[in-house]
């Protein structure tokens, strides 16, 4: 055995625990789920081949379309919101101020709260009658009503029913999503610290102001990080599950918070239609794949890689 | 060369011959670790009782009640030792454990799981065991035996049962100048009383007499109150029947009378069920459909309803004035014991189940959980000692002709989700056409039911 070959074998031996784990717990289930998506499979009975029946049924399943629509709307609202908030926070926390590490910690800590506890906490924050949010909002709206009344404009603005109104349930979730933007913020912050000071100095010499420096230096230099967070955000928001599953049983009210993964879970483990759920899983995979490719393609001209 | 570098070099010289053995040594460490952890996790077989595993969902005082039964059984004999394990999300875990070939010997599921789990062969029939231990329908209040009986086989036996009744906060009736001892007989009477009790404050609901959406556990079942059904016991779902349409129009009348937004805003202010902020316990809703368990929560969180005088009542749920034949309607439910497919010790498992089903075991359990017994025979002592002042009502209602249970069909979870969604549509939109909403449920679910039955036929489960 040549030294090179021996080295290869040794390397394989060292990675073998991972190979075994990956093949058993990831690769095999992945491949099996492709097969099951073409089967009638309830976990306990052997899978029976049904061709594309699961996919055609999905096509005619209005709840499937409803959950897909909900998920896309949520993504469209939550993704820009959380990206803007995370980026703004990161830019603020990049300032050279005394005690900055403490501020950074404070803004990151919420991301460490487990999703399940977070859901329970926000149930109270958004509580229609006793919640903190409406506790602050209602007096403000009352004052506005009073003001409009003085101007002879009849108005009766009232704080939204965040959790029980189909119109407000998704915005409530989006607002909650901001709470967990600490991870993205941290990545932005790392990116910001990588921007060469020389560029800012050069910009200063050219007489650039804060906005010009942000637009012409910071954002281009940060663009690969923004792209990374965008793609991770697409993947994360399209798979939103834990918090709405706990806060809105059955996707109430009127299925306005019934998201794709929740319907997938219900099909797999409550209705015992594992084949159907597998088909849903693969459709979601394709959607995420296409969106990611689109994001990558669209970013080609806009993302600037410092090294290239 | 510095002294420390010299020592480092010396050390390298020393371990050089060992480096050849690094890989085999690492492999050995892994093997020994696996062997040792396996030895630790599988205790050696010792002479003594056979251990069987029992998964149960209950925690708190309900869990303690079952633990007392298990302890009593373990003490009573020395051949079998039941190991009770509290498991959350028990339906899924039992199912997946059965699929993985490593289920518990006994699992404590919910009554409405039977059809779905039996259809999926996740649980085994208990007919032969029942014969051997002489456990037949005559041993039980019929509805509780029926819930475990499916497709001509016994699949489950009851643990603690439940039945429902209208719970009334008498103080709230008094506040509205109503006779607290005069419970409503008909729905019309209840609606009229509810209107008198309901009050507003700052433009919002402050107190409600009755709310169909509270606690919201029978949103799928209001049709039964009007004589409707959800299934014809054969091959047709009946979500859109006239009785069901009438029932959900009645439900919608509350949204029309009090305002859909006002009601949902009011409901959103309620706390968790098991807390002093519970709508009934905190004096927000005067009359509520609740089960036999409610006494436990009154006792725990609202002692003012018990002392100094008994200030709450449980009465049969009212019936529509033109349907007196529907008096004493109750929803029955139960928790059950099953033996999952692939259980290692089914014989011993059933021996324990038979003990739970005995009058001794069952009364110990039901007294501990403060519920009634599902058995036909109940000792006088049980009622004498029972703390719930209305326990006899809860035991009598399920014996009547108007006892109702969820349909025993495998697609019930999906059907139920669809009905719950229809309920929300109807209550949140007072102008929505009830008949059209229920027709939509029917149109969506009937083809699914047909497909489900066809799959069962193809599998050879049904002729």
Q: B121 in contact with A at a CB cutoff of 8 Å?
A: yes
CB contact (8 A) between residue A129 and residue B116: no
Q: Look at residues B231, B229, B217, B226 and name the one whose alpha carbon lies nearest to residue B279.
A: B217
CB within 8 Å of chain A, chain B residues 250-279:
261, 264-269
The per-residue pLDDT for B24 is: 80
Q: Do B309 and B176 share a domain, yes or no?
A: yes
Buried b vs exposed e over A4-41: b needs ≥16 C-beta within 10 Å? eeeeeeeeeeeeeeeeeeeeeeeeeeeeebeebbbbbb
Residue B285 covered by a domain = yes
Q: Do B288 and B390 share a domain, yes or no?
A: no
CA distance A95 to chain B (A): 42
Mean pLDDT of all residues in B2-31: 77
Q: Do B81 and B96 share a domain, yes or no?
A: yes
Q: Do B151 and B168 share a domain, yes or no?
A: no
CB A304 within 8 A of CB A223: yes
- Token pair of A225, please? 């990080």
Contact list, B122 vs chain A (CB under 8 Å): 44
Nearest to B120 among A45, A163, A270 (CB): A45
User: Model's pTM, two decimal places?
Assistant: 0.89
CA distance A243 to chain B (A): 17
Q: Using CA atoms, how far apart are residues A190 and A188, in angstroms rounded to an integer?
A: 5
Mean pLDDT of all residues in A49-74: 96
Chain A residue closest in CA terms to B413 = A271
Mean pLDDT of all residues in A160-171: 90
Q: Is the pLDDT of residue B27 over 80?
A: yes
Residue B274 covered by a domain = yes
pLDDT-derived band at B43 (thresholds 50, 70, 90) equals low
Q: Do B394 and B422 share a domain, yes or no?
A: no
Q: Look at residues B271, B298, B300, B297 and name the one whose alpha carbon lies nearest to residue B284.
A: B271
CB A68 within 8 A of CB A163: no
- Token pair of B295, please? 């006494």
Residue B116 CB neighbour total at 10 angstroms:
24
CB contact (8 A) between residue B121 and residue A44: yes
pLDDT-derived band at A174 (thresholds 50, 70, 90) equals very high
The per-residue pLDDT for B9 is: 82
Q: Is the pLDDT of residue B349 over 60?
A: yes
Q: Do B185 and B173 share a domain, yes or no?
A: yes
Q: Which phi and psi (to 5°) does residue B286 adopt?
A: -80, -35
Nearest to B268 among A13, A43, A164 (CB): A164
- Top residue of A44, A65, A121 to mutate, by most chain B CBs within 10 Å, is A44
Residue B36 covered by a domain = no
List pLDDT tens digits, range B212-266: 999 999 999 999 999 999 999 999 999 999 999 999 999 999 999 999 988 988 8
- Token pair of A143, please? 């004052």
Choose one of B360, B380, B401: the last residue of a domain.
Answer: B401
Q: Is the pLDDT of residue B44 over 70?
A: no
Q: Tokens 């069920």 label which residue?
A: B273
Q: Do B63 and B205 share a domain, yes or no?
A: no
Q: Do B390 and B417 share a domain, yes or no?
A: no
The per-residue pLDDT for A237 is: 94
Q: Is the pLDDT of residue B306 over 60?
A: yes
Mean pLDDT of all residues in A46-52: 92
- Token pair of A51, please? 């061709």
CB contact (8 A) between residue A254 and residue B268: no
CB contact (8 A) between residue A254 and residue B424: yes
Q: Is the pLDDT of residue B42 over 70?
A: yes
Nearest to A253 among B122, B265, B424 (CB): B424
Structural domain boundaries in chain A:
62-126+162-299
User: Which H or E run includes B253?
Assistant: helix B242-258
Q: Using CA atoms, how far apart are residues B354 and B180, in angstroms rounded to an integer?
A: 44
Which residues of A have a CB under 8 Å from any CB of B?
10, 13, 40, 42-45, 48, 62, 127-130, 161, 163-166, 250, 252-255, 266, 269-272
Chain B residue closest in CA terms to A57 = B448
The per-residue pLDDT for A299 is: 87
Q: Is the pLDDT of residue A129 over 70?
A: yes
Non-local (6+) Cβ contacts of A9 within 8 A are: A1
Choose one of B363, B381, B401: the last residue of a domain.
Answer: B401
Q: Using CA atoms, how far apart are residues B374 and B147, in angstroms rounded to an integer?
A: 11
- Top residue of B206, B213, B214, B265 to mutate, by most chain A CBs within 10 Å, is B265
Q: Is the pLDDT of residue A308 over 60?
A: no
Nearest to A255 among B264, B421, B455 (CB): B421
- Of A56-60, B10-14, B420-424, minimum mean pLDDT range: B10-14
Question: 3-state DSSP call for residue B33?
Answer: helix
List pLDDT tens digits, range A238-262: 999 999 999 998 898 999 999 999 9
Residue B18 covered by a domain = no
Q: What percent of chain B has pLDDT over 70?
A: 97
CB contact (8 A) between residue B421 and residue A127: no
Q: Do B140 and B175 share a domain, yes or no?
A: no
Mean pLDDT of all residues in B408-433: 95
CB B162 within 8 A of CB B291: yes
Residue B121: CATH number of its domain = 3.40.190.10
Q: ipTM above 0.85?
A: yes
The per-residue pLDDT for B87 is: 95
Nearest to B23 among A10, A43, A44 (CB): A10
CB A233 within 8 A of CB A82: yes
pLDDT-derived band at B48 (thresholds 50, 70, 90) equals confident
Mean pLDDT of all residues in B106-115: 96
The per-residue pLDDT for B447 is: 95
- Rounded to a whole number, what is the distance in angstroms from the first to the last CA of chain B? 91
- Of B161-165, B198-202, B393-397, minimum mean pLDDT range: B198-202
Mean pLDDT of chain B: 93
Q: At what angle do helices B346-357 and B359-368 cross, to 10 degrees?
A: 70
* Burial bucket for residue A157 (CB in 10 Å: 0-12, 13-18, 19+): middle
pLDDT-derived band at A1 (thresholds 50, 70, 90) equals low
Structural fold of domain A62-126+162-299: MetI-like fold (1.10.3720)
Q: Is the pLDDT of residue B269 over 90?
A: no
The string of DSSP codes covering A48-69 is: EE-TTHHHHHHHH-HHHHHHHH
CB contact (8 A) between residue B269 and residue A161: no
Domain count, chain B: 2
Q: Do B366 and B434 share a domain, yes or no?
A: no
CB contact (8 A) between residue B98 and residue A44: yes
Please give the interface size between A and B, counted as residue pairs whose CB atoms are below 8 Å apart.
70
Q: Which domain holds residue B375?
A: 50-155+332-401
Q: Do B366 and B234 share a domain, yes or no?
A: no
Q: Do B130 and B203 share a domain, yes or no?
A: no
- Taking the CA atoms of A117, A120, A123 and A124 in sequence, report the sign of the dihedral they define: negative
Residue B452 covered by a domain = yes
Higher pLDDT, B41 or B192: B192
pLDDT-derived band at B47 (thresholds 50, 70, 90) equals confident
Residue A95 CB neighbour total at 10 angstroms:
8
């Amino acid at each position: 055995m040549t030294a090179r070959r021996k080295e290869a074998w040794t390397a394989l031996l060292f990675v073998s625990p991972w190979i075994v784990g990956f093949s058993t717990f990831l690769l095999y289930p992945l491949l099996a789920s492709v097969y099951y998506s073409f089967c009638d499979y309830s976990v306990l009975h052997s899978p029976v081949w049904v061709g594309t029946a699961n996919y055609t049924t999905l096509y005619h399943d209005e709840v499937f379309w409803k959950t897909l629509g909900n998920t896309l709307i949520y993504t469209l609202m939550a993704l820009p919101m959380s990206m803007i908030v995370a980026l703004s926070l990161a830019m603020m926390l990049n300032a050279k101020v005394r005690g900055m590490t403490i501020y950074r910690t404070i803004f990151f800590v919420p991301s460490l709260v487990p999703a399940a506890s977070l859901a329970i906490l926000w149930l109270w924050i958004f509580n229609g009658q006793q919640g903190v949010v409406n506790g602050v909002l209602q007096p403000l709206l009352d004052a506005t009503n009073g003001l409009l009344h003085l101007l002879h404009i009849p108005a009766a603005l009232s704080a939204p029913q965040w959790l029980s109104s189909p119109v407000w349930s998704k915005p409530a979730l989006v607002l909650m999503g901001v709470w967990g933007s600490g991870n993205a913020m941290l990545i932005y912050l790392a990116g910001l610290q990588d921007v060469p000071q020389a560029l800012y100095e050069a910009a200063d010499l050219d007489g650039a102001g804060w906005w010009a420096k942000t637009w012409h230096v910071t954002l281009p230099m940060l663009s690969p990080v923004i792209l990374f967070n965008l793609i991770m955000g697409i993947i994360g928001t399209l798979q939103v599950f834990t918090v709405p599953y706990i806060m809105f049983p059955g996707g109430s009210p009127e299925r306005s918070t019934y998201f794709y993964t929740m319907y997938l879970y219900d099909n797999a483990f409550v209705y015992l239609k594992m084949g159907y759920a597998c088909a849903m899983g693969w459709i979601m995979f394709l959607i995420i794949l296409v969106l990611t490719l689109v994001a990558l393609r669209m970013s080609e001209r806009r993302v600037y890689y410092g090294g290239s | 060369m510095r002294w420390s570098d010299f020592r480092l070099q010396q050390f390298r010289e020393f371990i050089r011959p060992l480096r050849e053995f690094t890989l085999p040594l690492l492999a050995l460490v892994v093997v020994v670790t696996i062997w040792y952890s396996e030895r630790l996790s599988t205790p050696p077989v010792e002479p003594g009782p056979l251990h069987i595993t029992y998964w149960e969902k209950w925690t708190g005082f309900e869990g303690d009640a079952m633990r007392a039964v298990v302890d009593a059984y373990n003490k009573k004999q020395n051949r079998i030792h039941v190991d009770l394990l509290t498991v959350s999300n028990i339906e899924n875990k039992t199912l997946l454990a059965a699929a993985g070939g490593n289920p518990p010997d006994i699992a404590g599921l919910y009554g409405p799981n039977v059809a779905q789990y039996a259809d999926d062969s996740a649980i085994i029939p208990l007919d032969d065991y029942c014969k051997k231990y002489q456990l037949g329908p005559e041993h039980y209040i019929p509805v509780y035996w029926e819930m475990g009986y499916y497709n001509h086989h016994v699949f489950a036996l009851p643990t603690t049962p439940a039945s429902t009744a209208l719970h009334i906060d008498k103080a709230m009736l008094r506040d509205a100048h109503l006779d607290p001892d005069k419970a409503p007989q008909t729905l019309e009477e209840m609606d009229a009383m509810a209107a008198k009790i309901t009050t507003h404050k700052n433009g919002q609901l402050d107190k409600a007499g009755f709310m169909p959406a509270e606690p919201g556990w029978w949103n799928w079942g209001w049709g039964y109150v009007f004589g409707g059904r959800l299934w014809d016991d054969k091959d047709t779902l009946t979500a859109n029947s006239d009785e069901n349409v009438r029932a959900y129009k009645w439900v919608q009348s509350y949204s029309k009378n009090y305002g859909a937004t006002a009601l949902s805003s009011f409901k959103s202010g309620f706390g968790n069920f098991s807390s002093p902020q519970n709508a009934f316990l905190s004096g927000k809703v005067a009359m509520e459909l609740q089960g036999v368990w409610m006494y436990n929560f009154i006792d725990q969180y609202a002692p003012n309803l018990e002392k100094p005088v008994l200030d709450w009542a449980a009465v049969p749920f009212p019936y529509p004035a033109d349907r007196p034949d529907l008096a004493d309607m109750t929803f029955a439910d139960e928790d059950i014991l099953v033996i999952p497919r692939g259980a290692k010790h089914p014989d011993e498992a059933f021996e324990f189940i038979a003990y739970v089903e005995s009058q001794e075991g069952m009364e110990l359990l039901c007294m501990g959980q403060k519920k009634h017994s599902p058995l036909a025979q109940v000792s006088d002592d049980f009622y004498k000692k029972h703390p719930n002042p209305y326990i006899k009502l809860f035991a009598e209602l399920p014996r009547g002709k108007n006892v109702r249970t969820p349909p025993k069909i495998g697609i019930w979870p999906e059907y139920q989700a669809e009905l719950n969604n229809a309920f929300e549509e109807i209550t949140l939109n007072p102008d929505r056409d009830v008949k059209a909403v229920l027709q939509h449920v029917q149109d969506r679910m009937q083809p699914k039911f047909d497909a489900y039955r066809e799959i069962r036929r193809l599998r050879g489960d049904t002729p």
